[in-house]
Structure 1
Amino acid sequence: MKDSLCKILLVYMSSKFDKSIDDIKIIFRYGKVSQSIGNGKKIYDITFEKFSDVILLIFYSASLSFGEAYFKGNIKVKGSLSEFVFAVDKNFSNKVRFSFVSNLNYLKNLLFKKYRRNSLSEAVGNVRVHYEHEPDFYKLFLDSGMQYSCAYFLKDEMSIDEAQEAKKELISQKLLLTESCNILDIGCGWGGLALHMAEKYGCSVHGITLSEQQLDFAQNNMLEKGLESKLKYSATDYRDVEEKYDRIVSIGMFEHVGFKSYDSFFGKVYGCLKEDGVALIHTIGRVKGPGATDAFLSKYIFPGGYIPSLSEITPHIEKNNLIITDIEFLHMHYAKTLSKWREKFLMQRSTVDEKFGENFRRLWEYYLIISESAFRCEFMTIFQIQLAKKTSSVPNSRNYIYNQSENINL
C-alpha cells in the first residue's frame, strides 16, 4: 500500500518538472518503486529511505524537507549533489512549492516577513546562530582576510584571496576614500574591510558587530597590526549609533535587518552621514521581485533574515531623503565565490566531520550548494548601492571606480 501511494506521489512530483528536459535524467526511488524524468545521459539517482520525507517534500517545503533528509542521512544521492540541485532549480517550474499545502506554508512565510521586526534581542540571537562558530571553522573555507561576502572576480582565474582583495578595493573606490575619512562599518564581520581601509588609505574606521566571536577576532587582529589609533571595534547595534561619519559602509549585513526595519536602517544611515558624505550598501538581492526566505536557510542558517528585491529597498531610501548615486549588480560573482568556498570546505571534510560531525558537514554543504544555485539560476544577485545626501558628493563619471580598481596590486 505504501509503495503504491509513494508511486503516485513520485509521479505527481515528477510532473512538476519541465517536460523538455533532454540533457539529464533524474530517478526518484523509494522501497521497490521508482519514477524517472528526462532522457539525458547524465543520471541523478535519488533514493528516499523514509516515506515521511516524500510526504514532507511534496506537502510542506521541498528545500527544507530535502535538506533535512540529506544532512540526516535519509536520502542517498548517486552522482553530484551540486549538479542535481542546479539541474532541479534550472528545470523545475516552481522550486519551492509542489502543492496547495506548501503554497499556504509559503504564504505564511511571506506574511511573517512583512510583519516581523528584528528587535535588538532577536538580532543578537539570530547573529549567534550562524556567526558564533569559532573563527577556525570559517578559516577552513574563507580567504585569508576572512571575508564572508561576495568576492569580485576581475579575472576568471583569480583565487578567492585575490577576488576578495578586489572586492575590498572596489568598495574603497566607490567610497572615495581619503586619509581624513572617518568611517562607520555596519556589520564589520571579522574586520577585514575595516583593516583594508585603515592600512591602505589611512582612514579611521569604527566597525560594529553583534557577534562576540567576530569582535574578539577583529580586536586581536587590530592589536597585532598596531592599528589602535585607526581602528575601533565594538559590540553595537546600528540603531544605537549616534556619531556622524564621512563614510558609511555595510557589506552583507542588510540581509539581517528585517523588512519592517528598513525604514529605521536608512533613517540611521541618513542621521549618521555627514552632509557631503557617501555610503555604500552591499546586499544580496532578489532578481524577480519580492518573495519569502527559503525555509531551509531560515531554519538552519539565517533565522530572521530576508533577501530583498530592489523594489523593496528603494522606497525606504527615498523616504529618508537619501539619493541613489550609483547601483551596480554583481550577477555571477557570488556563484563563483560560493563554489570556491564549497571546494575548500569539502577539501576539509575529514576535519569538519571529526570536530562537528557528518550531519553538520552535510548541512553546510547543502547550504553552500543551494545558495550557489540561487545565483547560477538567476534567482539572486548582488546589489551595490551608493548613497549620498547630495549628488555633488560623487563625480559625474564612473571612471573613478574602475580606473583604480582594475589596476589593483594583488
Structure 2
Amino acid sequence: MSHTDTVKQFAEMLYRAVPRADIAIRDWEGNRYGPDQSSATLVLNHPGSLRAALIAPTDLSAGEAYIYEDIDFEGDILAALYLGNNLDQLRKQPRMLAKALNLVRSLPNESNRRLHRRPRLSGRLHSMARDRQAISSHYDTGNEFFSLFLDPSKTYSCAYFLDPLESLEVAQQRKLDLVSRKLLLRPGLSLLDVGSGWGSMLLHAGKNYDVVGRGITLSHEQFEESNRRFADVGLGHQLAVEMKDYREVSGSFDAISSIGMFEHVGAGQLTTYFEKMFGLLKPGGLMLNHGITTRERRRLPRLRETFVSTHVFPDGELLPIENVIQAAEDAGFEVRDVESLRMHYALTLRNWIANLESNRERAIKLTSEKTYRTWRIYMAGSVVGFETAGISVYQMILAKPNTPWQFGRRWAVAADDTAEAGS
C-alpha cells in the first residue's frame, strides 16, 4: 500500500468515526480528503507527518508536529482542535483505535522534532531559582510580542464580558474594576499584586481607587515595563513593581490580588503560598485569588509531559477547585465568595488568537515561526479546554475569619452589570 493510500484509508476511518468533522485533510501530493467545504484543513507536509502527529497519541506529539512544521492548519485552527477533542471518542472503540494507530505506524518514522531539543529547566522543582527560569521562559518572550495580541492595558488574564460581542478592551477594564470592587479598594489602602504582569491591575487601582500599590514579578521585562508605565502617568511615587518571588515578600497589606499566578506555584507549595498570603494580609483585609483549575480528578504521574508543560508553562500545575479551597482554608483563610469565569476566558482567548493571527508576520519577525505557532496552538487548545469544561478559572475572595461581613452582592458585581445598574 502506498503512503497516500494509507492516508486515504485513515481519513475514511476518521470521517466514519466523526461524520460531522468540519476539517479536510490534504497530503504532500495535494490529494484532498473529507468534506468539499470545511472551516479548516489539516496539511500533511511529508509522508511521515501523520505519524509524527499521532505516535505517541498525545497532545505533546500533535503540538510538536505543528510547531516543527510536520503539519499545518489552514483556516480555523479551533475547528481542527475540536476534531482532535472529538477523536477521544475513539478511545471508546478500542478495535477501531488500534486499527487506526496500526495504519499510522506503517507510515515513515520521520519528524522534524528530531532536529530539536525539548526545553529543560534545571534545579529542584519549584525552588526559587527554578521558578525564575520557568517564568522567564514564558513571560520574557518580548513586550512587543505580547502587545500584538493583548488589549492596550496589557492584561494577560481573562476578561469579564457582559456581551460576547463587546470589545476585549472594554471587558478587560471591567475585569480590573471588578477585582477592585471585590477587594473593597478605597483611597489610601495598600494593595499587593502577586504576579503583577505588566502592571495593569496596579495602574487601574492607582488611577481609579487611589491605592498605594506594590507588585512582584519574576520577569525582568515585566518589571521594567511596569515601572516605566507607572512613571509615564505620574504614579511612580505611588506604585512600584519589584523582582521578587512571593516567598521573599515582607510587610503587611490591606488587600492582595493574585491574578493568573498561582498556577505556577505547584501542588506541593500551595499551602505554603496561602500561608504566606495569610501572613501578609492585615486583619480585616481581603485577598482575591484568580486562577485556572482542572476538572481532572484522576491521579496522573507527576512527570507526564504535555505540550503546555513542555513548551508553554514549564512546571505549571492545575488542580481541582476543591484542592485550592482546602489549601486556602488549611492556611487559615475563610472562603467568602467563589465565581467561575470559564466562558469569559474562552472569549478572551478567541480574541487573543484573532489578534495574533492578524499580526502573524510581525510576530514571526519579532520572535520566530516556532514561537508564533506555539502561542497559536496553546491558546487554541485552551479555548477547547474552557469551552468543553475540561478546565475552568475561578475568582475566590478570601478573608481572615474575623473580617467584617459584607452583606448583599453589590460589592461582587461589575458596576455596569444589570444586576447592579438596575438596583
What is the TM-score of this pair, normalised by structure 2?
A: 0.82
Aligned to 2:179: 171
Distance 1:162 1:291 in 2: 40
Distance 1:54 1:211 in 2: 37
Distance 2:219 2:40 in 1: 40
Give the partner amino acid of 2:182: K
Please give the per-residue CA displacement for 1:54-83, whole angstroms capped at 9, x wherever unaligned: 445444253222222222222144543221
Aligned to 2:61: 65
Give the partner amino acid of 2:255: R
Aligned to 1:137: 145
Aligned to 1:227: 235
Aligned to 2:20: 23
Question: CA 1:47–1:220 in structure 2 vs 1: closer, same or farther (change >3 Å)?
Answer: closer
Aligned to 1:189: 197
SS in 2 for 1:92: helix
Distance 1:18 1:171 in 2: 48
Question: CA 1:399–1:59 in structure 2 vs 1: closer, same or farther (change >3 Å)?
Answer: same
Give the partner amino acid of 1:344: N
SS in 2 for 1:184: strand
CA contact (8 A) 2:177 2:414 kept: no
Give the partner amino acid of 1:204: V
Aligned to 2:344: 333
Distance 1:11 1:156 in 2: 35
Aligned to 2:404: 393
SS in 2 for 1:332: helix
Aligned to 2:367: 356
Q: CA deviation at 1:45?
A: 4.4
SS in 2 for 1:151: coil
Which of 258, 266, 277 does residue 269 from structure 1 map onto?
277
Aligned to 2:114: none
Aligned to 2:105: none
Which of 390, 396, 399 does residue 379 from structure 1 map onto?
390
Q: CA deviation at 1:42?
A: 3.7
Question: CA 1:4–1:164 in structure 2 vs 1: closer, same or farther (change >3 Å)?
Answer: closer
Give the partner amino acid of 1:194: L
Unaligned regions of 5+ residues in structure 1, if any? 101-115
Aligned to 2:267: 259
SS in 1 for 2:89: coil
Question: CA 1:72–1:26 in structure 2 vs 1: closer, same or farther (change >3 Å)?
Answer: same
Superposed counterparts of 1:240-255, under 5 Å:
240-255=248-263
Superposed counterparts of 1:54-93, under 5 Å:
54-90=50-86, 92-93=88-89
Is the deviation greater in 133-142 or in 328-337? 133-142
Give the partner amino acid of 1:232: A
SS in 2 for 1:23: coil
User: What fraction of aligned residue pairs are identical, expressed as a percent?
Assistant: 28
CA contact (8 A) 1:212 1:235 kept: yes
1:46 aligns to 2:42 (yes or no): yes
SS in 2 for 1:393: coil
Two-structure CA RMSD over aligned residues (Å): 3.2
Which of 401, 407, 413 does residue 402 from structure 1 map onto?
413
Question: CA 1:183–1:78 in structure 2 vs 1: closer, same or farther (change >3 Å)?
Answer: closer
Q: CA deviation at 1:174?
A: 0.6
Q: CA deviation at 1:289?
A: 3.4
Give the partner amino acid of 2:323: E
Q: CA deviation at 1:276?
A: 1.0
Superposed counterparts of 1:89-108, under 5 Å:
89-90=85-86, 92-93=88-89
What is the TM-score of this pair, normalised by structure 1?
A: 0.84
Please give the per-residue CA displacement for 1:230-261, whole angstroms capped at 9, x wherever unaligned: 21210011101121111111000011111111
Q: CA deviation at 1:40?
A: 9.6
Please give the per-residue CA displacement for 1:300-346, whole angstroms capped at 9, x wherever unaligned: 11111112211221221121111100000012111111111111111
Please give the per-residue CA displacement for 1:94-138, whole angstroms capped at 9, x wherever unaligned: 89x9789xxxxxxxxxxxxxxx74110111000111111221111
CA contact (8 A) 2:39 2:79 kept: no
Give the partner amino acid of 2:21: I
CA contact (8 A) 1:7 1:33 kept: no
Question: CA 1:354–1:78 in structure 2 vs 1: closer, same or farther (change >3 Å)?
Answer: closer
1:162 aligns to 2:162 (yes or no): no
CA contact (8 A) 1:281 1:384 kept: yes
Superposed counterparts of 1:197-216, under 5 Å:
197-216=205-224
Distance 2:9 2:134 in 1: 36
CA contact (8 A) 1:277 1:393 kept: no
Question: CA 1:53–1:307 in structure 2 vs 1: closer, same or farther (change >3 Å)?
Answer: farther
Equivalences, count: 389
Is the deviation greater in 2-11 or in 376-385? 2-11
Give the partner amino acid of 1:272: L
